Chain A
Amino acid sequence: GQNIDQPTEMTATEGAIVQINCTYQTSGFNGLFWYQQHAGEAPTFLSYNVLDGLEEKGRFSSFLSRSKGYSYLLLKELQMKDSASYLCAVKSNAGNMLTFGGGTRLMVKP
């Protein structure tokens, strides 16, 4: 089975940097995804890591350590529109479905 943990809520200030952690336990690993979801909307893809290391994409970066079962999403230069839920999801090598964590609700304050 798979178990994915991430903090339920975080608060940060506009212009700052925030790191959202995700730990996972899986019987097979074939990649880790981060999605952003605004309230009432569909999840939208942010990043994908399958090898160890840091992937940078504009203000967003994602890191993976497979040996530690750990990932983080780093958001820089926070904007008010970044207030959303951030979902960590693991893809197993036994199939194509994603197993999601409960999501981290990020509130960006002025």
Chain B
Amino acid sequence: DTGVSQNPRHKITKRGQNVTFRCDPISEHNRLYWYRQTLGQGPEFLTYFQNEAQLEKSRLLSDRFSAERPKGSFSTLEIQRTEQGDSAMYLCASSSMDGGYEQFFGPGTRLTVL
């Protein structure tokens, strides 16, 4: 396992469609985070999981956004009824709960909503 992976790397969709992104964290990491990053800005926290439990979801941008991590391994982020303002880079990160503090980021999924 060489790092955090995300799929797809790029997604182009039409306004109103639903999209789902996948994140596979580093295998021994039990914490997983989703961030959104727009051009020229730093990443913005969305939600995070410890194992399969979603411990913080109040920062999700609207009720159109949801995330799951059903078995405590990979996670999905879904955006329903996409809007042009959802166009951004969606980053996933993972970290270890046991003494580790660094969050390792994946390459991101770039979403373009037409």
Known: A44-B105, A87-B42. A97 touches B91 (CB 8 A): no
Contacts of B59 in A (CB 8 A): 97
Contacts of B43 in A (CB 8 A): 43, 87, 98, 100
Contacts of A4 in B (CB 8 A): 42
Q: How many positions in chain A have a CB within 8 Å of any CB in the partner chain?
A: 22
Contact of A96 among B91, B95, B105 (CB under 8 A): B95
Quick check: A42 and B108 within 8 Å, CB to CB?
A: yes
Quick check: A45 and B102 within 8 Å, CB to CB?
A: yes
Complex: A87 Cα to B108 Cα, angstroms: 16
Complex: A102 Cα to B42 Cα, angstroms: 4
Chain A interface SS verdict (over half): strand
Contacts of B103 in A (CB 8 A): 33, 45, 98
Complex: A35 Cα to B35 Cα, angstroms: 14
**Interface range, B side:** 20 to 34
Quick check: B102 and A42 within 8 Å, CB to CB?
A: no
Judge whether A78 is part of the interface by a CB distance below 8 angstroms: no
Quick check: A96 and B41 within 8 Å, CB to CB?
A: no
Quick check: A96 and B44 within 8 Å, CB to CB?
A: no
- A23-66 interface code vs B (CB 8 A; 1 in, 0 out): 00000000101010000011111001000000000000000000
Contact of B101 among A48, A97, A101, A102 (CB under 8 A): A48
- Which residues in B have some Cβ–Cβ distance to A below 8 Å? 4, 31, 33, 35, 40-45, 48, 50, 55-56, 59, 91, 95, 101-108
- Which residues in A have some Cβ–Cβ distance to B below 8 Å? 4, 31, 33, 35, 41-45, 48, 87, 89, 91, 95-103
